[in-house]
Amino acid sequence: MSPEDAINLVDKLLSPYRLTAIQEVVFRRCWEGSTYAEIASSEGYDADYVRVTGSRLWQKISQVLGERVTKKNIHAVLRQQSHQLHQPETPSPWWPGADEQSDTPFPGSPLPLGSPLYIERPPVEKQAMGELRKPGALLRIRAPERWGKTSLVNRLVAQAQTLNFSVVRLNFRQADGGVLANFDKFLRWFCANIAQQLRLSTRLDEVWNVDLGSKVSCTNYMQNSVLTPLQHPLLLVIDDLQAVFEHPAMAQEFLPMLRVWHEEAKNLPEWGHLRLLVAYATEAFIPLQIHQSPFNVGLPLRLPAFTLAQTQQLAQRYRVAWEDSLGDLHRLVNGHPYLIHLALYNLSVQQMNLTTLIDEAPQHSGIYSDHLRSYLAIFESEPKLCRSFYQVIQEETTTELEPMAAYRLESMGLVTLAGNTATASCNLYKEYFGGRLGIDPG
């Protein structure tokens, strides 16, 4: 496949989004085998800028295709996509009743748009889209890891695009450690990414004023260089906002700035164009003044666990016949979306026996072994966090945790918080970790 054919295919896959000029340069050169350093040197771009552009492009293609796409596997992925586009139309194996179960995706990645395996959790989707239609909206979506936040955000983005919103997506986990360690660098990274995705000329040096400070410079840039010329709604999506929480000094500057932007919509029409959608795993554990925090304004939405009815609906879509033991499984994992998906995948595609699956669930031989052992490895390297969770699963009632431990454990999905008190989020974690941590909680 020639670079031009590959670029045309990517544009088709990403439609209505199209590659920007810099994305096209990076894609073409990567397709031809160049490294990011070689691209930066020959094309006259900063090396970090090229690397971030490439990373974002692979992420965007991954989100559309529902599989991990990288610089190394892009040739193979697009050859497969090209082959599928030229096949005669057949009933999609995504839908219930299709003949090829082997095409059912392995759980753990965002579900593609249109996938019937996406289960709506009313009224979350309707409330979210209704809020984003409002000028100056601030929507906060909170849920633990592997809970379906990205699949929901992808659908909100797609709906926003049908309303002719411009969309910018930032994932703070993609920022280099050096960027997150310096507030001025972070805000310049923030603005440069927005400009790049909107195909705007950056020119940050022209608007960055040392005397005014980084926050004012960033705010002026957003108002004068982004929102004023745009003159239509801009959906700014911030994924993994909690990456900023881990740098308290920065969070205490950045989060109040988001609050100010939201409130400026009441005063200036330009800021009414901005819709903020922030997704995060848990609340900030850092102290913020009530009038500065963005976590007490806008619409907060907590993505809930699956209800029993939603688990039944998903079982039907996996073509797994319902039986009482599936209700036992639902209660064992307390409706945890990823754990439910993984069980139904194994029952449907791997044809596992349900009784065996449940019996082995909290064992190393069970389907959840990789998931559970990944947390066990974290506990082995962080004894203090381990003691906190051990205390939770040993207590008959709720346990009060110090803020950092509560933040970590909730973001991992291991505990449910009510204020500063915590309970284990499901019996699976109690059964598995109760006999393996083997420490004195005191």
Instruction: Indicate the SS3 state at residue 414.
Output: coil
| Structure confidence at residue 249 (pLDDT) | 87
In angstroms, what CA-CA distances link 366 with 28, 335, 353? 44, 18, 12
Q: Quick check: 16 pLDDT over 70?
A: no
pLDDT band of residue 288 (cuts 50, 70, 90) is low
Q: Tell me: do 336 and 392 sit in the same domain.
A: no
Q: Tell me: do 339 and 383 sit in the same domain.
A: no
| Range from 63-77, 236-250, 255-269, 418-432 carrying the lowest mean pLDDT | 63-77
- What beta strand segments (E) does 303-424 contain? 399-400, 415-418, 421-424
Q: Tell me: do 238 and 348 sit in the same domain.
A: no
Q: Quick check: 88 pLDDT over 50?
A: no
| Structure confidence at residue 98 (pLDDT) | 42
Q: What is the 3-state secondary structure (H, E, C) of 235-300?
A: EEEEECCHHHHCCHHHHHHHHHHHHHHHHHCCCCHHHHCEEEEEEECCCCCCCCCCCCCHHHCCEE
Cα–Cα distance for residue pair 301/152, rounded to 1 Å: 12
Q: For 379-402, how does the pLDDT look when each residue is reduced to its tens digit (9 = 90+)?
A: 999 999 999 999 999 886 778 888
| Structure confidence at residue 331 (pLDDT) | 97
Instruction: Judge whether 289 lies within some domain.
Output: yes
Q: Quick check: 230 pLDDT over 60?
A: yes
- DSSP per-residue string spanning 347-372: HHTS---HHHHHHHTTSTTSTTHHHH
**Is pTM, for the whole model, over 0.95?**
no
CATH number, domain with residue 239: 3.40.50.300
Q: Tell me: do 138 and 182 sit in the same domain.
A: yes
Instruction: Judge whether 57 lies within some domain.
Output: yes
Q: Give the contacts of 28 (CB within 8 A, at least 6 positions apart).
A: 3, 7
CATH number, domain with residue 23: 1.10.10
Final residue of a structural domain among 64, 88, 112: 88
Tokens of 277: 């959608």
Residue with tokens 């033991």: 325
Q: Tell me: do 349 and 261 sit in the same domain.
A: no
Mean pLDDT, residues 230-259 taken together? 91
Cα–Cα distance for residue pair 244/183, rounded to 1 Å: 10
Q: Tell me: do 361 and 397 sit in the same domain.
A: no
| Structure confidence at residue 80 (pLDDT) | 78
pLDDT band of residue 89 (cuts 50, 70, 90) is very low
Q: For 295-332, how does the pLDDT look when each residue is reduced to its tens digit (9 = 90+)?
A: 788 999 999 999 999 999 999 999 999 999 999 999 99
| Structure confidence at residue 291 (pLDDT) | 63
Instruction: Judge whether 153 lies within some domain.
Output: yes
Q: For 169-216, how does the pLDDT look when each residue is reduced to its tens digit (9 = 90+)?
A: 999 988 888 898 899 999 999 999 999 999 998 789 999 999 999 999
Instruction: Judge whether 440 lies within some domain.
Output: no
Mean pLDDT rounded to a whole number for the chain = 88
> Closest Cα to residue 131, out of 271, 304, 300, 283?
300
**Residue 168 phi/psi, 5° resolution?**
-125, 130
pLDDT band of residue 95 (cuts 50, 70, 90) is very low
Q: Quick check: 83 pLDDT over 80?
A: no
Domain range for 57 is 3-88
Cβ of 421: how many Cβ atoms within 10 Å? 16
Tokens of 22: 């810099």
Cβ of 133: how many Cβ atoms within 10 Å? 13
Q: Tell me: do 226 and 278 sit in the same domain.
A: yes
Mean pLDDT, residues 21-42 taken together? 88
Q: Tell me: do 172 and 291 sit in the same domain.
A: yes
Instruction: Judge whether 178 lies within some domain.
Output: yes
Instruction: Judge whether 145 lies within some domain.
Output: yes
Residue with tokens 């005063």: 267
Q: Tell me: do 284 and 340 sit in the same domain.
A: no
Q: What type of residue is 129?
A: M
Q: Tell me: do 265 and 360 sit in the same domain.
A: no
Mean pLDDT, residues 47-75 taken together? 84
Q: Tell me: do 143 and 284 sit in the same domain.
A: yes
Instruction: Indicate the SS3 state at residue 326.
Output: helix
Cβ of 197: how many Cβ atoms within 10 Å? 20
The domain total for the chain is 4
pLDDT band of residue 90 (cuts 50, 70, 90) is very low
| Structure confidence at residue 348 (pLDDT) | 94
| Structure confidence at residue 441 (pLDDT) | 40
Final residue of a structural domain among 349, 365, 381: 365
Final residue of a structural domain among 29, 61, 88: 88
Instruction: Judge whether 68 lies within some domain.
Output: yes
Q: Tell me: do 154 and 284 sit in the same domain.
A: yes
Instruction: Judge whether 281 lies within some domain.
Output: yes
Asked if 149 and 303 touch (Cβ cutoff 8 Å), the reply is yes
Cα–Cα distance for residue pair 18/357, rounded to 1 Å: 45
Q: Give the contacts of 118 (CB within 8 A, at least 6 positions apart).
A: 111, 151, 155
